[in-house]
Amino acid sequence: MPVSFFFFYNFRRFLTTIFIVVLYFYQHKSTKKLTEIMKVYQTNEIRNIAIIGGSGAGKTTLTEAMLFESGVIKRRGSVDSGNTVSDYFPVEKEYGYSVFSTVFSVEWMDKKLNFIDSPGSDDFAGGAVSAMSVTDTALMVINGQYGVEVGTVNLFRYAESLAKPVIFLVNQLDKENADFDKTLIQLKETYGGKVVQIQYPLQTGQNFHQMIDVLKMKMYQWKPEGGTPEILDIPASELSKAEELHNALVEAAAENDEALMEKFFDQGSLSEEEMRKGIRKGLLSRGMFPVICASAAKDMGVRRLMEFLGNNVPCVSEMPPYKNTEDKDIMPDSAAPASLFVFKTTVEPHIGRISCFKVMSGTVKAGDDLLNEDRGSKERISQLFVVAGQNRFEIPELHAGDIGSTVKLKDVNTGNTLNAKGVDNKFDFIKYPNSKYRRAIKAVNEADSEKMMEIIGRMRAEDPTWVVEQSKELKQIIVSGQGEFHLKTLKWRIENNDKLMIEFYEPKIPYRETITKSARADYRHKKQSGGAGQFGEVHLIVEPYQEGMPMPEVYKFNGQEFKIQARDVQEHPLEWGGKLVFVNSIVGGSIDARFLPAILKGIMGRMEQGPLTGSYARDVRVIVYDGKMHPVDSNEISFMLAGRNAFSQAFKNAGPKILEPIYDVEVSLPSEYMGDVMGDLQGRRAMIMGMNSEKGYEKLMAKVPLKEMSNYSTSLSSITGGRASFTMKFAAYELVPADVQDKLLKEYEAQQETE
C-alpha cells in the first residue's frame, strides 16, 4: 500500500482530534461565560413568576422567546421540532405536551426573573399548583384565538386561593382567528373592573406587528422577524383611544395608594415611575389584573413583557411571608439561618436526581451542610445551579427568595425542608388537587412487581399527583392521577424509559356491607377428636348502628322476647370507616368474661370479609346476650369461631345491603355543552345537586357513584372538545340500587365457585 495513503489517513485522524479538542474547549468556554454572566442577586432584585395557562396557549414558545431575548440561548427551538428548553423529556417530545413544569431564570434590567413554566393540561394541574405555590406572581397566558377557556378559569381559581397577583398575556395575536377585543371583553365579564389594559394591538392575524402601550404612551412596531421593536409616537388616529386608556390606567394605579390618589386629584396625572408603584401595589392587593399582548412565535412583544415584569412585579421582599407548619411567619431575610424548600425533583440520565428548591430564608452556599427536617438525614450541597430547563449554570450562593437547584442529594424528596444547624423550620404549603382517575396496575411479568413499585415510587418524587396504593381490601395495586392522559404518561415512561411492560385494568370498587334491621342467631362450635376437644356456643343480636342511637331494653324475634342488660359497651372505630359497637349483655356467667375478646375477634374477622361480597362491613351493633361453655373443652379458638359464625348467620338475616362510595363532582363547562354533560351524568346514576354560573362558565354539581366515574375524564373531554374540567371528592357511602346489588351478588358467587 502506498506511503501517501498512510500519511493522508493519519493526517485526517490528526485533524479530527484537533477539531474535537477545539470544540470541547469552545463549548467549555461558552458554558463558563454563561455561568459568569449569572451573578448573585439580592432578595430585593428577584422576581418569581409562574407561567400558567391552558393547553395550546403558547407557554413553551414564550419560554423560548424569553430565553432567546435574554441571551441564555442563541437559537429558539420549537415545539414541532422537539428542541425547546422546556418539554425536553422524551415523553414530552413523544406527545407534544408539557408534562413537567420547567424552571428557568433570566437576567433583565439588573434584575433576576425566575420563571416556572407549568403544564397547561388539566391532567398535569399539579405542576401548575406547585409553580404558583413557590412563586409570587402568575403570568396567565391566553390563546388570543379562543379567549377565556375553562383552563383559564380553573388556573385563576388556584391563583385566587393562593392570593397570588395575576397578569394576563394575550398571546398568538398573529393567528388568523385571533380576536383581542373579544378576549378583553371576556376577561372583563369574568373578572370585572380589575382588568386593566396596558397594551392593545392595532391589528390581529397575519398583519399583527404593531401595538400601543398606554403605560409608555408609545407605539411598538416590529419587522417580520420580531425581536427588538421600533419605538414610535402614537399615530394621530389612535391618540384619542390611547389617552382614554392611559387615563383609566392612571386612575387604576392611583386607587391602590393614598398618596398617589391625592397627587392624581391635584395634578390629574402621574409619572411613569409613580404609575409603576401603583401597579405594583395593585398587583399585591389583587386590585388590578393588567393585560399585555404578544406573539411569542414571532417574538413580538416579548422584550416589552420582560421589561414590564421587571419593573412592576413585586419583588420577594414585598410579598407576604410564608408560614411554616407551626404557623410562624418566615421572613425572606438573607442574614437569617438558611432554610430551603424542595418543590420539584427530576431524574435525568447520566446526572441522577436533580432537586429544585426555593431559599425560604438565609443564604445557601455551595459546600453547606444542611439537615433534612422531614427525614432526619444530613445533606451536603456540593454544587449550586441556576437552571434553564436541562441547562445548568453553576453559582456560588443563592439568597433568600431565590430559586435554584442542586444534584445528587442522598435522601431528599419533593416537599422536604433542608435547614442549617439550629433551625427547625418545616414547610408544607403545596396542596395538590385530589385524584380524578384510577386504574389497577400490574407488571406483565409478575416477577417484575417489586421493580415496578420501586419505579413508581421514584416517579412519585417527580410528580406527587401520581398516587399509588397497595390495597389490602381490593387485593390490587391502585394508581390514581388527574386523568387518563396523566396515567398514560406514567405507563409510557415505565415502558420506554425503564423497559418494563405493565398493564392497566379496571379497578375494583371498595364496596361496604351493612344491615337494615335487627336479627338474632346462635352457633355452637363443637369438635372432639381425641384428647381435649373444642366447645363454644354464642347467642347474639345484630342491628344497624347510627351515632348516638339508644339501645332497646327488649328485642322481639318470632314472638319471643329477649331482655337486654348492657354490662359493658365498647365502640370500635373501623379503619375502613364506620363503627362496630360490641355489647356484653351476658348474665349468670353463661360465658366467662375471658372469652369475650375471642368472640369480638371472630366478629371483627368476619367484618373484614363481609358475608355478602367479601367487602368490609360497617355500622353494626352486636349484642352478646347468652351462650354456653364447657369446663374442659372451651377455649379462645372455640369462642372465636362460634362468634364468627353466629355473626355471619345473623348478618344474612338482618336485611343486608351493599353500600357504594359516592363522590361530590363539580364540572366547569361552557354553557353550550350543559345539556350533553347533564345527560351523560344522569346516565351514570348521578344525582344533580345544582348548577350556577361562575366567572363566564357554568358549574354543575352532582353526586355520582365511584363505579360510574371510571372513564369520566375521557368522556367529558370527548363531549366538550377538552373545554371542560371537573373535580371529585369522596362524600359518603350510600345503598346501591336493588338491581345493582343483585348483579354484585351473582358476580361474587360466580367468583367464589371459580376459586
Would you list the DSSP string of 96-127? TS--S-EEEEEEETTEEEEEEE---SGGGHHH
List the alpha helices (DSSP H) in 138-206.
Answer: 150-161, 180-191
Q: Does residue 408 sit within a domain?
A: yes
Give the chain's end-to-end CA distance (angstroms, integer): 78
Q: Give the residue among 426, 422, 168 at the shortest CA–CA distance from 291.
A: 168
Q: Does residue 749 sit within a domain?
A: no
Contacts of 600 (CB under 8 A, 6+ apart): 570, 582, 643
Does residue 475 register a pLDDT over 70?
yes
DSSP secondary-structure letter at 383? -
Residue 273 dihedral angles phi and psi, to the nearest 5°:
-65, -40
Distances, alpha carbon 691 to alpha carbons 135, 358, 679, 699, in Å: 33, 40, 14, 5
Give yes or no: residues 524 and 453 share one domain: no
CB 163 within 8 A of CB 320: yes
What torsion, rounded to 10 degrees, do the Cα atoms 243, 247, 252, 257 define?
130
Q: What is the pLDDT of residues 516-525, one digit of tens each?
A: 999 999 999 9
The CATH number given to whatever domain includes residue 160 is 3.40.50.300
Q: What is the pLDDT of residues 25-46, one digit of tens each?
A: 333 333 333 334 568 999 999 9
Amino acid at 740: V
pLDDT of residue 723: 79
Give yes or no: residues 30 and 53 share one domain: no
Helix axes 236-254, 258-267, angle to 10 degrees: 140
Round to whole Å and give the CA distance between 270 and 263.
7
The predicted model gives 267-278 an average pLDDT of: 87
Three-class SS state of 22: helix
> Could you tell me the residue range of the domain that residue 711 belongs to?
658-744
Round to whole Å and give the CA distance between 263 and 259.
6
Q: What is the 3-state secondary structure (H, E, C) of 262-278?
A: HHHHHHCCCCHHHHHHH
What cell numbers appear for 138 in the block?
402568575
Return left, alpha or beta for 469; rule: phi > 0 is left, psi -120 to 50 is alpha, else beta: beta
Q: What is the pLDDT of residues 164-185, one digit of tens each?
A: 999 999 999 999 999 999 999 9
Give yes or no: residues 375 and 276 share one domain: no
Q: In what order do the strands lie in the sheet with 534-544?
A: 519-527, 534-544, 620-628, 579-584, 568-573
Round to whole Å and give the CA distance between 542 and 656.
11
Write out the H or E segment, with its range, that includes residue 695.
none
pLDDT of residue 388: 82
Amino acid at 189: E
What cell numbers appear for 671 in the block?
354553557
Contacts of 615 (CB under 8 A, 6+ apart): 473, 510, 511, 512, 513, 658
N residues, the chain? 755
CB 452 within 8 A of CB 494: yes
The predicted model gives 484-513 an average pLDDT of: 93
Does residue 20 register a pLDDT over 50?
no
The predicted model gives 582-603 an average pLDDT of: 94
The predicted model gives 137-151 an average pLDDT of: 93
pLDDT-above-70 percentage for the chain: 93
The separation between CA 417 and the C-alpha centre of its own chain, rounded to angstroms, equals: 19
The predicted model gives 358-365 an average pLDDT of: 97
Give yes or no: residues 335 and 201 share one domain: no
The predicted model gives 707-713 an average pLDDT of: 92
| Tally: H helices and E strands in the chain | 17, 40
Round to whole Å and give the CA distance between 649 and 56.
60
DSSP secondary-structure letter at 148? S
pLDDT of residue 10: 53
Q: Does residue 754 sit within a domain?
A: no
Count Cα atoms within 13 angstroms, Cβ side, for 339.
22
Contacts of 737 (CB under 8 A, 6+ apart): 685
pLDDT-above-90 percentage for the chain: 71
Query: Given the C-alpha cell 441522577, which residue does it identify?
Result: 352
Amino acid at 692: N
Kindly provide the b/e burial profile for residues 542-574, where b requires at least 16 CB atoms within 10 angstroms of the residue's own CB: bbbbeeeeeeeeebeeeeeebebeeeeeeeeeb
Amino acid at 252: A
pLDDT of residue 178: 96
Three-class SS state of 191: helix
The predicted model gives 391-412 an average pLDDT of: 92
The CATH number given to whatever domain includes residue 414 is 2.40.30.10
pLDDT of residue 88: 63
Give yes or no: residues 330 and 210 share one domain: no
Mean pLDDT taken over the chain = 89
Q: Does residue 541 sit within a domain?
A: yes
Three-class SS state of 511: coil
pTM assigned to the model: 0.82
Burial class (CB in 10 A: 0-12, 13-18, 19+), 158: buried
Residue 288 dihedral angles phi and psi, to the nearest 5°:
-150, 135
Contacts of 295 (CB under 8 A, 6+ apart): 171, 172, 173, 174, 208, 226, 301
Give yes or no: residues 473 and 385 share one domain: no
Give yes or no: residues 577 and 671 share one domain: no
Give yes or no: residues 87 and 201 share one domain: yes
CB 312 within 8 A of CB 283: yes
The predicted model gives 494-515 an average pLDDT of: 94
Round to whole Å and give the CA distance between 460 and 470.
15
Q: How many domains does the chain have?
A: 6
Round to whole Å and give the CA distance between 489 and 547.
44
Point out the domain boundary residue: 318, 344, 378: 318
Round to whole Å and give the CA distance between 47 and 440.
43
Q: What is the pLDDT of residues 402-458, one digit of tens each?
A: 999 999 898 899 999 999 999 999 999 999 988 999 999 999 999 999 999 999 988
The separation between CA 310 and the C-alpha centre of its own chain, rounded to angstroms, equals: 29
Q: Does residue 563 sit within a domain?
A: yes
Long-range contacts of 375-381 (CB under 8 A, 24+ apart): 375/411, 375/412, 375/413, 375/416, 377/410, 377/411, 377/412, 379/409, 379/410, 379/411, 379/412, 379/418, 381/406
Round to whole Å and give the CA distance between 37 and 103.
18
Round to whole Å and give the CA distance between 653 and 521.
9
The predicted model gives 383-407 an average pLDDT of: 91
Give yes or no: residues 105 and 247 share one domain: yes
pLDDT of residue 83: 78
Q: What is the 3-state secondary structure (H, E, C) of 603-626?
A: HHHHHCCCCCCCCEECCEEEEEEE
Q: What is the pLDDT of residues 613-661, one digit of tens each?
A: 999 999 999 999 999 999 889 999 999 999 999 999 999 999 999 999 9
Round to whole Å and give the CA distance between 539 and 522.
4
Round to whole Å and give the CA distance between 532 and 527.
9
Q: What is the 3-state secondary structure (H, E, C) of 306-368?
A: HHHHHHHCCCHHHCCCEECCCCCEECCCCCCCCEEEEEEEEEECCCEEEEEEEEEECEEECCC
Q: Does residue 425 sit within a domain?
A: no
Q: What is the pLDDT of residues 293-313, one digit of tens each?
A: 999 999 999 999 999 999 999
The CATH number given to whatever domain includes residue 669 is 3.30.70.240
What cell numbers appear for 653 in the block?
338475616
What cell numbers appear for 628 in the block?
354456653
Point out the domain boundary residue: 293, 318, 343: 318
Q: Give the residue among 258, 288, 292 at the shortest CA–CA distance from 274.
A: 258
CB 646 within 8 A of CB 538: yes
The CATH number given to whatever domain includes residue 633 is 3.30.230.10
Q: Does residue 490 sit within a domain?
A: yes
Point out the domain boundary residue: 384, 419, 454: 419
Q: Give the residue among 642, 650, 340 at the shortest CA–CA distance from 515.
A: 650
Give yes or no: residues 82 and 212 share one domain: yes
Q: Give the residue among 553, 559, 550, 562 at the shortest CA–CA distance from 522.
A: 562
Give yes or no: residues 162 and 309 share one domain: yes
Q: Strands, E, within 629-755: which ranges?
A: 657-669, 687-694, 697-705, 725-735
CB 509 within 8 A of CB 662: no
Give yes or no: residues 269 and 145 share one domain: yes
CB 325 within 8 A of CB 427: yes
Q: Does residue 89 sit within a domain?
A: yes
